[in-house]
C-alpha cells in the first residue's frame, strides 16, 4: 500500500514539473516572402496605437513601445518617428476560457481492487473525475507595416494563459513576450538593397 502511494505522489510531481515547462506563450510569426524586412533601416509607431482605444496612451502601450524599441534597436534598426520605413502597431485581446478534463477517478483502482494498480486499467464503468478550470487567455500581436505602401510585411503573435505572476508583474511579462516574438525578426542589413 505504501509503495502505491509513493508511485502516485511521484506521478503527480512529474506531471506538475512537465506542466511548468509548457507555461510560456506560444509564438507564431509570418512575413511577406516578397519583402526583405532586413533591408529597412528605420521604424516608428502608429499614432494612435490599437492599444490606445480610450483616446489616450495607456501604460500597456508605453511598455510595448519601450520593449519593441529596445529589441529593434538591438537588431540594428534606427528609431525615426518622423519618416520611418516601418511602422509598428500592437493588438491585445483577452478572453475568458474554460478547460474541462476527464480522468479516471483516483479512488477507482484502490480499495478491494487496489492490487491491479499500475498493471492494467479499470473497465469503463468506473467513475471519472471531471475537472473544470476557468482562465484568461491573452493574445499579443505585433504588426510591422511598410510605412510608404501601408502594407503588412511581418507579424508576430504570442498566445498564452494570463497567470497570477503575469498580473503581479506586467512590465516583466510584456518585456518577455516582446522579446520572444521579435527573437526571429531579421537583423538589419541581412539582405538586399533597402526599399526606403
Q: Does pTM surpass 0.85? A: no
How high is the pLDDT of residue 35? 96
Which three cell numbers mark 79?
528609431
How high is the pLDDT of residue 98? 82
pLDDT tens column, 132-184: 888 788 999 999 999 999 999 999 999 998 888 888 888 999 999 999 999 99
Query: Which run of H or of E encompasses 146?
Result: strand 128-146
pLDDT: is 64 or 115 the higher one? 64
Region 25-49 average pLDDT: 95
Q: Does domain 24-101+132-182 correspond to CATH entry 3.30.160.670? A: yes
Residue 54 is given by DSSP the state: T
Report residue 187's pLDDT band, with 50, 70 and 90 as the boundaries.
Answer: very high
Cα 108 to Cα 126: distance, rounded to the nearest angstrom: 6
Beta strands in 56-113 (DSSP E): 78-79, 86-104
How high is the pLDDT of residue 191? 56
Cα 114 to Cα 20: distance, rounded to the nearest angstrom: 30
Q: What is the largest CA-CA distance in the chain?
A: 77
Which three cell numbers mark 6?
509513493
* Angle of the 170-182 helix axis to the 59-74 helix axis, nearest 10: 40
How high is the pLDDT of residue 1? 44
Cα 38 to Cα 86: distance, rounded to the nearest angstrom: 11
Region 73-90 average pLDDT: 97
Q: Is-contact 4 115, C-beta < 8 A?
A: no
Report residue 131's pLDDT band, with 50, 70 and 90 as the boundaries.
Answer: confident
DSSP-based helix, strand, coil % in the chain, nearest 5: 30, 30, 35
Mean pLDDT, the chain, whole residue set? 79
How high is the pLDDT of residue 92? 93
Single out the residue of 106, 153, 161 nearest to residue 136, CA to CA: 161
Amino acid at each position: 500500500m505504501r509503495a502505491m502511494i509513493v508511485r502516485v505522489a511521484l506521478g503527480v510531481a512529474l506531471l506538475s514539473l512537465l506542466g511548468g515547462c509548457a507555461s510560456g506563450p506560444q509564438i507564431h510569426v509570418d512575413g511577406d516572402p516578397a519583402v526583405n524586412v532586413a533591408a529597412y533601416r528605420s521604424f516608428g509607431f502608429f499614432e494612435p496605437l490599437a492599444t490606445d482605444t480610450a483616446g489616450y496612451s495607456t501604460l500597456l502601450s508605453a511598455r510595448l513601445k519601450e520593449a519593441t524599441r529596445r529589441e529593434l534597436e538591438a537588431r540594428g534598426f534606427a528609431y525615426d518617428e518622423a519618416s520611418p520605413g516601418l511602422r509598428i502597431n500592437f493588438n491585445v485581446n483577452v478572453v475568458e476560457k474554460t478547460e474541462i478534463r476527464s480522468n479516471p477517478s483516483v479512488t477507482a483502482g484502490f480499495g478491494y481492487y487496489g492490487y491491479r494498480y499500475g498493471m492494467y486499467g479499470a473497465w469503463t464503468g468506473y467513475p471519472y473525475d471531471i475537472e473544470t478550470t476557468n482562465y484568461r487567455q491573452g493574445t499579443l500581436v505585433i504588426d510591422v507595416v511598410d510605412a510608404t505602401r501601408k502594407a503588412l510585411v511581418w507579424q508576430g503573435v504570442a498566445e498564452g494563459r494570463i497567470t497570477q505572476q503575469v498580473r503581479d508583474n506586467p512590465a516583466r511579462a510584456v518585456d518577455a513576450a516582446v522579446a520572444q516574438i521579435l527573437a526571429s525578426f531579421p537583423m538589419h542589413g541581412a539582405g538586399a538593397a533597402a526599399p526606403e
